[in-house]
Amino acid sequence: MDDINFAVLGTGGIGRRTLEVSQDKDNLRPVAACDRHGVAVDHDGLDVDELLAATEGNIASDGGATAAANNANGGVKQSGHDKGVAASVQADPTETPIEDIIDASDAIDAVLIALPNFEHDFIPRVADRFAEADYEGVLVDVLKRSRVIDLLDEKADTFENSRISFVCGAGATPGLLTGAAAIAAQSFVEVKSVDIWWGVGLKSGYEDNRGTVREDIAHLDGYTIEDAREMSDEEIEAVIDDHGGVIEFEDMEHADDVLLERAGICDKEDVTVGGILDVTSDAKPTTTTVRVTGTTFDGETGTNTFQLDDDTSMEANVNGPALGYLKAGVRRNRAGEYGVFGPADLMPGF
């Protein structure tokens, strides 16, 4: 495969780790990245180490004391007009980061949208902006909510006409686990249920994983995505404290259900997703497991089980597959296949 130039929208936990992981993936060259206050573009390839340093705590304004403390704890992203991406020597401050990436997109093969989807139509609206600017390439997201998939499917004709290949839900779950369920389902002529149970340990806590944790809290009973969007950081941290730093989720509105249905695996009502988030430890509080139960051609009922190793980090299971699906999307795009693809529609590239 020829080299792939790609951009990352958003340099929170997912965006920064994507840039880091890309250095160990063949044929990938990160050429642009942004957050709300800064944009960095270099078509010869970004200096990822410098950019990561700029988006984390070693650019603190106190001469390095805060930097040393943050780095000792794994690095906490600095935010504000003069911090984050804007603090990189490769970057410029901006009030229009997405537009700046779009302006440079003629030389960008793929864009990973690593932005929180706190309005259900936010990521689809971002995609519209690329289509309206006549971008031709691949857009990838790691969104979680089922209802967003329908919004993207409604735009399939727009993407096809614009020569865009949109890969949706391409992280861990949905993403890696959706693909695993699709493979496990091949043993059966009828799938009765798909049960996904995940465990995530994030010792770095809410501070360094704001979007991910906030979006997960929206799945708790009594909360909505609108509630999570409007809550202050202090209110989010209070919810975490109320649960002792370990939050269990059941029957989440997770896009695996719609993505498996659109791939013809099973009805969305037959998919359940839940899990445990622990922000006090990097150790997983439970083993991430997919169970696919169905009936075989000879009338037997069985369950195929897929498990992720407990020592493999959440970042590895999200960002590795996201970049793999990005590569698979570029293959489809270069072959002239455009529209909306889910993780069960294509396998990630190594």
Which residues are annotated as catalytic? 144, 215, 219
Can you tell me the distance from the alpha carbon of 53 to that of 50, in angstroms, rounded to the nearest whole number? 5
